[in-house]
Structure 1
Amino acid sequence: MPDVSYGSEQMPLNDDRTPDSGCDAICIDADRIYDSCGAKDCLSDLPLMFTESEQALVENACSVRINRANVITSTVEVEPVAFHRGFYSVDMTFYFSVNCDVYSSNGALPTTVNGLAVYGKRVVLYGSDGSVKSFSSDKPVKCEKNDRDCSCSSANSVPKATVQISSPMALSAKLVNCKPCSSMPCKPIPHCVCDYFCGELVPCKKKQIAVTIGIFTITRLQRNVQIMIPSYDFCVPRKECCVKTDDPCEVFSKIEFPTDSFFPRKSEECEKHDNPFECGREEE
């Protein structure tokens, strides 16, 4: 059976090198970013959830202080936006581990506790249209339940959403009266998050800790496409790997002689530098 020509005007791959460019045009399979956005969010008064033993410490606390916060994980969901073809909503839920010092009385030594803070946000981005189904030999086929057509999860046509988040900035923490309606999230907490705290998270009774943290995020929608790019050469290593040695004298022989330590710089040489610490003196 003869091959069907689907791209008669496609550029040849082997005859695109020119004397001036010195490169070939090659076709690669990559994720193209169709839309992206960045955000700087100050998440104020996020309630913390604790295990039963640590929640008892919070109930008897008189003051708290925040130490640090980090991201445990995040869930990302993509859904088409009705009546806006090519646009998709990206729903993100972030799970933070927040470390705080709890003081039971004035002058008492603090007790460190770790709590869970949950924050969700939604953005709308353009992700183009796609109606093809892609299958790959390196991905197992998993069919969704309760679907009459057995639509496979690896064959959907929505774009892939990727979220990047910086390390959270721990800004403040305070003791507030318990609000049971806001202490537990609406969505079920992932099992990996519960395992992170080594115990079941319980709602507050009288007191709870509310924290404020700052985050920077980048959200993007991308699709798998085939594109042509210029190729100059293969990435061949240009240097030889150094072999480690256990001989301390050989290691010492590779250290340069510290000339500046024996012959300090002149004052006029220090003035040439914008950074005063380069000459071994601090700025008064």
Structure 2
Amino acid sequence: MSINFKKFSPRPGIVNKQGRLPDPSELVCVEIPKIFDQCLIKRCLVYCEGPDTNTTDCELRSDPLIDPKRYIGSRDFNVKLISVDKIPIKGKPGFKKIVISYIISFYADYIDCNGVNKSELYEINRTDVIGKFYCPDSVAQISASYVPVIDAQDLDSNIIKLEMVAQALNGEIVEDENCDSVLDITLGYYIVVKCELIVQLLIPAYDYCPVPKEPCKEEPEEDPCEKFVRAPIPKFYPDQNLEPLFPDCDDNADENN
């Protein structure tokens, strides 16, 4: 079913297959970062002394802990790009060997023997090498100025960007060589490395984004007892893991055939 153009109100949303959009009202020139190349770094790291490898890291062990009892979990993962080295590849214009250094930080929570929740900060320094990455240099040089003009600055139109999803796969309280209690973390993460270049693109547009007509919704405070009364009665016992005593009728029919 096609869209009634007279009733169509341009707004952010999903374009379904049943309808079709009206013609745009204008073509506009916008300046945005465009992705020229991207690749994935996937690592599962455990603690190990010595130089870091693709599977081990010496910073996944905490400082000595006082009477730890149990590891709870990890939170607040963050990645920070420290440095980028771009080495041109001879005979392949625009392609470079990329060396990136970054820090992954997070907190690991645990309970001590007194029942007190405590946390330990981890900062994992990593370096990865991307052998072949299409990251061309910008032909034009960009300079931006703000009021006052003395704040004018040159901008790097070539951007290396990291996007990460990480989780602690395991946490284990062990004793180190000094008989101190420490927390070893197994870390798994995905990092997408992107090469972006600030460019001008000509794109179709409908109009400015509409101003919301409805005010921001407020979540009303609910009486906890009223919420409890409306809730269904919970299960008193867990589900049983039992096997049938007799075969199904369909199984008997198959055997007879």
Which range, TM-score by smaller chain? 0.5 to 0.7
Choose which of 36, 39, 43 in structure 2 pairs with 1:37: 39
Report how far residue 110 of structure 1 moved.
6.0
Give, in whole Å, the separation in 2 of the partners of 1:216 and 1:35.
17
Choose which of 93, 101, 121 in structure 2 pairs with 1:92: 101
State the AA in 2 paired with 1:241: P
**CA contact under 8 A between 1:28 and 1:227: conserved in structure 2?**
yes
Note closer, same or farther for the CA distance 1:175–1:21 as it changes in structure 2 (3 Å cut): same
Choose which of 194, 202, 205 in structure 2 pairs with 1:220: 194
- The share of aligned pairs that are identical, in percent, is 16
**CA contact under 8 A between 1:65 and 1:172: conserved in structure 2?**
yes
Provide the residue aligned with 1:80 in structure 2: 86
Choose which of 132, 143, 147 in structure 2 pairs with 1:135: 143
Report how far residue 160 of structure 1 moved.
0.3
TM-score by structure 1 length? 0.52
**CA contact under 8 A between 2:108 and 2:122: conserved in structure 1?**
no
Higher helix share: 1
Superposed counterparts of 1:187-206, under 5 Å: none
State the AA in 2 paired with 1:165: M
Report how far residue 90 of structure 1 moved.
4.7
Note closer, same or farther for the CA distance 1:34–1:47 as it changes in structure 2 (3 Å cut): same
Report how far residue 232 of structure 1 moved.
1.4
Give, in whole Å, the separation in 2 of the partners of 1:78 and 1:29.
24
TM-score by structure 2 length? 0.57
1:110-163, Cα deviation, whole Å (9 max, x unpaired): 663413231414253311232432110149457xxxxxxxxxxx3556x20111
State the AA in 2 paired with 1:211: I
Secondary structure of 1:57 counterpart: coil
Q: CA RMSD in A?
A: 4.3
1:186-230, Cα deviation, whole Å (9 max, x unpaired): xxxxxxxxxxxxxxxxxxx66554321122222211011011000
Give, in whole Å, the separation in 2 of the partners of 1:242 and 1:132.
43
Note closer, same or farther for the CA distance 1:212–1:120 as it changes in structure 2 (3 Å cut): same
Structure 2 unaligned residues grouped into runs of 5+: 1-21, 48-56, 223-229, 240-257
Structure 1 unaligned residues grouped into runs of 5+: 1-19, 143-153, 179-204, 252-260, 262-278
Give, in whole Å, the separation in 1 of the partners of 2:28 and 2:104.
42
1:48-73, Cα deviation, whole Å (9 max, x unpaired): 489xxx94536xx6876352143255
Secondary structure of 1:168 counterpart: strand
Note closer, same or farther for the CA distance 1:22–1:225 as it changes in structure 2 (3 Å cut): closer
Give, in whole Å, the separation in 1 of the partners of 2:37 and 2:72.
36
**CA contact under 8 A between 2:81 and 2:162: conserved in structure 1?**
no
Aligned length: 193
Superposed counterparts of 1:84-233, under 5 Å: 84-88=92-96, 89-101=98-110, 108-109=113-114, 112-124=118-130, 125-138=133-146, 140=151, 154-156=154-156, 159-175=158-174, 177=176, 207=180, 208-233=182-207
**CA contact under 8 A between 1:97 and 1:116: conserved in structure 2?**
yes
Higher strand share: 2
Superposed counterparts of 1:27-66, under 5 Å: 27-45=29-47, 46-48=57-59, 55-57=63-65, 65=71
Give, in whole Å, the separation in 1 of the partners of 2:186 and 2:60.
14
Note closer, same or farther for the CA distance 1:169–1:113 as it changes in structure 2 (3 Å cut): closer
**CA contact under 8 A between 2:83 and 2:102: conserved in structure 1?**
no
Note closer, same or farther for the CA distance 1:22–1:224 as it changes in structure 2 (3 Å cut): closer
**CA contact under 8 A between 1:76 and 1:161: conserved in structure 2?**
no
